[in-house]
Structure 1
């Protein structure tokens, strides 16, 4: 299986396991800058040179050899499951993508037909019942993850522990798990522990939020979207994420982690 979703600088200064919706655009751009002294012109996900990625065939033997031997500092980044699934909904379901189209073609029409999800449009200012539609989307996300129907789960809402775990299961070891909510602190911790060809001043790095501005803004506090049934669904699908990454399941409005990630526990539980 190898190391899907893994990126590595060309200098092999650092290895990063991407988790979608967890600051991956910013992290990728910082990695790119740390080798080349400039940011990639465009969405870092579209780069095909300047950064080793598992999706690029020529990068695979290099990433594999590095990860298995643990030659470089390896890290990943996680996010509160409540805000992550909300972000997935507003970006991928309700939002218009960079290419001006809906995400994954006919998926949104299927969601409207089978689950009663409404998403509005740019023409009506994305005027729809956000709470009702999000809860219906959450039911769909659960169905994709638990039953793989009406389609396989999408990377943007499949559990973070699944993404993080493939790196461990195939022979990798993490040195650090950082939190999106404490991005500067976590990224600085990583930079302090590696040697990069180009020094990085985090205070001068812009935020690269590639999904910003393509869809509706969240109109309510996080907790308004999650009633008892929604929280039950969240626990059913993401209980491992809440426990391993120390997020507060009982209070959706508390986006901050409750403590540091226990790396020993993480490797033990995701290493099967």
Structure 2
């Protein structure tokens, strides 16, 4: 049983490595936004933007593309979500494209050097999309009937050019608050906002850590004296998709809330239309809750 178990683990590891290795042909496409424009053979316009990313375990390539989403070709928006996955049984890379119209395109992908070929059925025809490598930020792009290394007919010929995806230089990590009522204040954030309590990495006493969202955290630090003037302008702000339901929850728990001017149980509306309220935790720290979209 032990040998079998180790063999299973080894198979899983090797399988994951094989998938990652086969999908490495897409590495040059990631961390960029690829843009192309042109005209199909029938004169209709082509415009597309694509972003490629690897899944967390690197066994999938995820493609999100924008294009025209109306027959008149006047509305440009999210058009396709796609997946590329290595199939060890057939030793091929398979792909699926799900479009905004409810259609699914399925086919295979292969690489020849740095060139990438997609092959799939379209009606009664077999179509090939070619990403022909020019340089790190440029691919010639063709769509057509490609057989035995020859283009019998080209439906579209254009070029994809890349723009780097700009990342924020910093990511929000955590907010720390000094408190005198560690248990009461920690329970407040757990029960009112649903934050998940997580252990302090050193197991120290006098701390309560909470996961807010993603990797963002709230750290409460107990002190005998927390001498700090609580001003509403200094506050933690959290956004919710359902501010009305959150207000109902506050009322059920008999927690008072205020608008920005300080009116009891009132809601403020910012100039941009965002609605907001303010509450205080057991230590008196102010918290803004609004319905801003993220």
Q: TM-score w.r.t. structure 1 length?
A: 0.21
Structure having greater relative contact order (Cα 8 Å, sep ≥ 6)? 1
TM-score with structure 2 setting the length? 0.20
